[in-house]
Amino acid sequence: MQIALLGGTGDIGEGLALRIARDTDNDVLVGSREAEKAAAKAEEYTDKLPDTTVEGLENPAAAARADIAVAAVPAYHLSDTIGAVADELDDTILISPAVGMQRDEDGLHYNPPGVGSVTQLAAKAAPDHVPVVGAFHNLAAAKLANLDADLDWDVPIIGDDEDATATVTSLVEDIDGLRALSAGGLANAAEVESVTPLLINLAANNDGMHDLGVKFW
């Protein structure tokens, strides 16, 4: 499969691009609003993984070739990013890892949009025929991008389309150190997304916990 990381030049996009390129048999396309930026980042990623090739393209071109597109952008850019590639999403599964958060003097707090969750916002922005799956919400981006670091994280998966959810589950399981867990349909997305600000607050207030993820027993 071809996996497009829309906004793949950012923190979570970098980690996913490197891990997917190294650990799976899929082709990785790095998308950006600027083709030059995407190409430069793709070259940087390829340099870290000499046995792989990562290609950089503008977001619409990356989406047009993708079997799976990951909207690896902050929540406030999500609708615009999906809108910009909507005409290119044909038989494509769209993954949303974004979380809405706001900061005050006490730390970070979950800040969902009016539709209930950011994953549901992605589903609203996507064309009706495009299945949306929520995944990768609770990952520490720096550790994800550090290929010398061993992962041991669970990844809750949320989606209403069974086939799309199964495909994303398989992708997650192919990445070393990640275990996919079904968390139900899109209506459950808020519960998954709200864990992320908790993890960041724990990391900020406790020494040695900057690479927190989740693991369930």
Whether the Cβ atoms of residue 131 and residue 93 lie closer than 8 Å to each other: yes
If DSSP codes are grouped into helix, strand and coil, which group holds residue 208?
A: coil
Residue 157 host element (H or E) = strand 153-159
Is 214 inside any structural domain?
Answer: no
User: Mind listing the pLDDT tens digit for each residue in 57-101?
Assistant: 999 999 999 999 999 999 999 999 999 999 999 999 999 999 999
Closest CA to 69 of 47, 46, 49, 88: 88
What letter does residue 91 receive in the DSSP assignment?
S
Task: Enter the pTM of the model.
Answer: 0.96
Is 217 inside any structural domain?
Answer: no
User: Mind listing the pLDDT tens digit for each residue in 97-119?
Assistant: 999 999 999 999 999 999 999 99
Which CATH number covers residue 50?
3.40.50.720
User: Mind listing the pLDDT tens digit for each residue in 139-174?
Assistant: 999 999 999 999 999 999 999 999 999 999 999 999
* Token pair listed for 176: 């070393």
Task: Domain of residue 192: give its range.
Answer: 2-205
Is 174 inside any structural domain?
Answer: yes
Whether the Cβ atoms of residue 66 and residue 58 lie closer than 8 Å to each other: no
Amino acid identity, residue 171? L
Residue 159 host element (H or E) = strand 153-159
**Domains held by the chain: number:** 1
Is 26 inside any structural domain?
Answer: yes
Residue 64 host element (H or E) = helix 59-65
Is 159 inside any structural domain?
Answer: yes
